[in-house]
A and B are shown apart, each in its own frame.
Chain A
Amino acid sequence: METSNTPTMAEHLEDDIMRNSLKTTAAAFMLVALTGLTGCATTRDLDVLKLAVEKAQSTADAANAAAANAQSGADAATACCKANTEKLDRMFKQSMNK
């Protein structure tokens, strides 16, 4: 009886199914790892999250400071404008004196 190392069609199919199954399992594992759906966070995950929150807080604080600075500048400009108008009015009144 003639033997051959060439796989049969059935063996081909069986191999394909096995390979596909392994690929699917790996992909599912990666997905779970990536999306963090494992159900419990590690300390490292929390640290990363904490860092992100701190960074966002820092950005918000900087934005607040910039806004306060801008408001202060606008208030100073308004006060200066009012003072200039007052100076102008007083100078005008003085100049109208006999």
Chain B
Amino acid sequence: MKSLIIVFSLALSNSVFAETFDLPSQHFGVIGSMRTVQSTYEDTLLDIARRANIGQNQMERVNPDVDRWLPGEGTLITIPSHYVLPRAPRKGVVLNLPEMRMYYFPPKKPGQPAQVQTYPISIGRMDWATPLGMTTITNKKKDPSWRPTESIRKEHAEKGDPLPRVVPAGPNNPLGAYAMRLGMPTYLIHGTNKPLGVGMRVSHGCIRMLPEDIEHLFAQLPVGTQVNIVNQPVKAGWYGGKLYLEVHPPLEEYPNDRGAVVEEVMVALDDAMNRRSAELDNTMIDEAIDQRNGLPQVITRGG
């Protein structure tokens, strides 16, 4: 019986993908909640992040005192599964680059509440930045082969790691088992053969997802689905009478000084305060700006 329970727990822990939440009304914009788990002796922070559907950078940011490689048995790990929705139409896919996260708003099914799914993603490195803007999914492919662009082949050749013109589907294919082409030429949403890199800036501009996540999403997204790629390091949203502020570090290619972040905060608050007014706690706003840890923080005074 005991071994059955252990097997069941393991199966459960490996099957966690795609956090799905009931979508709040337009006046509200916060989903999920923070939680904590205890690490086991064998865990790394990378394993825990993958199991919890959290990107690697975000996981490290909210657990600054935990050793990424050796958290140790029984260490309390913060799981930041608490999100303010981006300022964007709640339709199709919204990719917010600074937080390295995707939000998918599936069509509402009759008799069921509207929902939102969220997934961690990898985005392009600084020299290979993922483009912003509105696009659509133009093509879908299971077991894709990878045809690296000339610039990628050149980069690899310079590092002494030449690439073939075509990398066939299989365990060495960096696209993983699924790829969805975007209307922006050469850019894809795809899986990966390096799942531990999800939640980092490691791609050539494509959107990389965990293998279990892309499999789940691939089945749901038809060709023509809208994909909105936004740059919102600061988000603000209401929940339960409180206004939450979520501040992420801006992407490296954008201004990173306090003044620039304050401007982003003003934009986010302006949008949120259009919905309803409230007395703001400037100390909490300053704290969120200083920390930039991507955790939603209450910034209204009183209950």
- Residue numbers of A with Cβ under 8 A of B are 85, 88-89, 92-93, 95-98
Cβ–Cβ < 8 Å partners of B194 in chain A: 95-96, 98
Cβ–Cβ < 8 Å partners of A96 in chain B: 122, 194, 196-197, 200, 202
Count of interface residues, chain B, beta-carbon cutoff 8 Å: 16
Question: Are B69 and A98 closer than 8 Å at their CB atoms?
Answer: no
Does B50 lie at the interface of the complex (its beta carbon under 8 Å from any beta carbon of A)? no
Question: Are A93 and B174 closer than 8 Å at their CB atoms?
Answer: no
Does B125 lie at the interface of the complex (its beta carbon under 8 Å from any beta carbon of A)? yes
B190-205: CB near A (< 8 Å → 1, else 0) gives 0000101100101110
Cβ–Cβ < 8 Å partners of A88 in chain B: 69
Measured CB to CB, the closest approach of chain A to B46, in angstroms, equals 8
Cβ–Cβ < 8 Å partners of B181 in chain A: none
Among A85, A92, A98, contact of B203 (Cβ-Cβ < 8 Å) = A98
Cβ–Cβ < 8 Å partners of B122 in chain A: 96
Cβ–Cβ < 8 Å partners of A89 in chain B: 68
Question: Are B68 and A98 closer than 8 Å at their CB atoms?
Answer: no
- B201 nearest in chain A by CB position: A93
Bound complex: CA of A85 vs CA of B203, how far in Å?
A: 23
Cβ–Cβ < 8 Å partners of B200 in chain A: 93, 96
- B122 nearest in chain A by CB position: A96
Cβ–Cβ < 8 Å partners of B174 in chain A: 98
Measured CB to CB, the closest approach of chain A to B146, in angstroms, equals 9
Question: Are B125 and A97 closer than 8 Å at their CB atoms?
Answer: yes
Question: Are A97 and B202 closer than 8 Å at their CB atoms?
Answer: yes
Among A92, A93, A98, contact of B204 (Cβ-Cβ < 8 Å) = A98
Q: Of residues A88, A89, A97, which shows the largest number of chain B Cβ atoms within 10 Å of its Cβ? A: A97
Measured CB to CB, the closest approach of chain B to A58, in angstroms, equals 43
Measured CB to CB, the closest approach of chain B to A80, in angstroms, equals 16
Measured CB to CB, the closest approach of chain B to A2, in angstroms, equals 107
Bound complex: CA of A68 vs CA of B82, how far in Å?
A: 47
Cβ–Cβ < 8 Å partners of A98 in chain B: 152, 174, 194, 202-204, 206, 208
Bound complex: CA of A89 vs CA of B206, how far in Å?
A: 22
Given A97-B197, A98-B152, 12 new contacts (CB under 8 A): A85-B68, A92-B196, A93-B202, A95-B194, A95-B197, A96-B196, A96-B197, A97-B125, A97-B202, A98-B174, A98-B206, A98-B208
Cβ–Cβ < 8 Å partners of A93 in chain B: 197, 200, 202
Measured CB to CB, the closest approach of chain B to A90, in angstroms, equals 12
Bound complex: CA of A92 vs CA of B57, how far in Å?
A: 12
Measured CB to CB, the closest approach of chain A to B273, in angstroms, equals 39
B222-242: CB near A (< 8 Å → 1, else 0) gives 000000000000000000000
Measured CB to CB, the closest approach of chain A to B195, in angstroms, equals 9
Q: Could you pull out 22 A-B pairs where Cβ atoms are within 8 angstroms?
A: A85-B67, A85-B68, A85-B69, A88-B69, A89-B68, A92-B196, A93-B197, A93-B200, A93-B202, A95-B197, A96-B122, A96-B194, A96-B196, A96-B197, A96-B200, A96-B202, A97-B125, A97-B197, A97-B203, A98-B174, A98-B202, A98-B204
Measured CB to CB, the closest approach of chain A to B89, in angstroms, equals 31
Measured CB to CB, the closest approach of chain A to B132, in angstroms, equals 21
Measured CB to CB, the closest approach of chain B to A17, in angstroms, equals 84
- A97 nearest in chain B by CB position: B202
Cβ–Cβ < 8 Å partners of B196 in chain A: 92, 96
Cβ–Cβ < 8 Å partners of A85 in chain B: 67-69
